[in-house]
Structure 1
């Protein structure tokens, strides 16, 4: 039966192979730091892509809105010229179209004012926010009877 004799270098290798708690903590800390850095890099890359897509989408909406305004202007001219085909003087035709837009603007302002008047303060939120300081101090506030 042959016995193997370990040389001093083999014994040193065995000691190096068994990490200490300090080494494990250092490795875990390094790995965690690398993981966080990679996650941040991934988030930046995803956000960069999302921002580019959002900007492109916004730009396309702006161009569409600009073209929509041009269409409204051209249709207004077309409608005014259509009115001139009925024998109406062009000045009156354009005045009629302008008056129609004025009525539409007034209607939108009236509806907008009505909607704004419906805005109310968030009463329930204000009431609970008033109770927060007492709750942080450990005091109990009386429950509402509502």
Structure 2
């Protein structure tokens, strides 16, 4: 069971509505500040975790790049046993050119679907502004 803190006003004395509203406003402001500080702390913590994960992705990307480089060299050396080394290098380069062209086209197609304006946020802000103008409706 929670106890009600004693009132600073003595028994039999009533506090005015202005005093009560002032106290409630002060409590709401304190609560809001505490919530903002909690949100900041959570965002910092999540940003740290995201930064570490991004570093791991970067390392994995570099390792993947090195893997493709050495596989390409192995393909060139393997083909050079069958045909001239210059032609084997051109064949491997042509395969990579096709891969690059396909990836470029797919990326270009997906980029056309990207909207630079955050539609949901804009709509939500419009609703908030409308509510702020007419809060009782």
CA distance in 2 between partners of 1:23 and 1:111 (Å): 65
* Residue 42 of structure 1, CA deviation: 0.8
After superposition, the Cα gap between the structure-2 partners of 1:71 and 1:38, relative to the gap in structure 1 and judged at 3 Å, is same
Normalised TM-score (structure 2): 0.61
Query: What CA RMSD, in Å, does the superposition of the two structures yield over aligned residues?
Result: 2.8
* Residue 92 of structure 1, CA deviation: 2.3
Q: Name the stretch that deviates more: 58-67 or 99-108.
A: 99-108
Equivalent in 42, 52, 57 of residue 56 of structure 1: 52
Aligned partner of 1:89 in structure 2 is 84
- Long gaps (5+) in structure 1: 1-11, 120-146
Q: Name the stretch that deviates more: 45-54 or 104-113.
A: 104-113
Q: Deviations over 1:59-82 (max 9, x none)?
A: 222221121111111100011112
Equivalent in 33, 36, 44 of residue 32 of structure 2: 36
Q: Secondary structure at the match of 1:39?
A: helix
1:14 aligns with 2:11: yes
1:71 aligns with 2:38: no
Q: Secondary structure at the match of 2:11?
A: helix
* Residue 96 of structure 1, CA deviation: 1.6
After superposition, the Cα gap between the structure-2 partners of 1:32 and 1:109, relative to the gap in structure 1 and judged at 3 Å, is closer
Q: Secondary structure at the match of 1:19?
A: coil
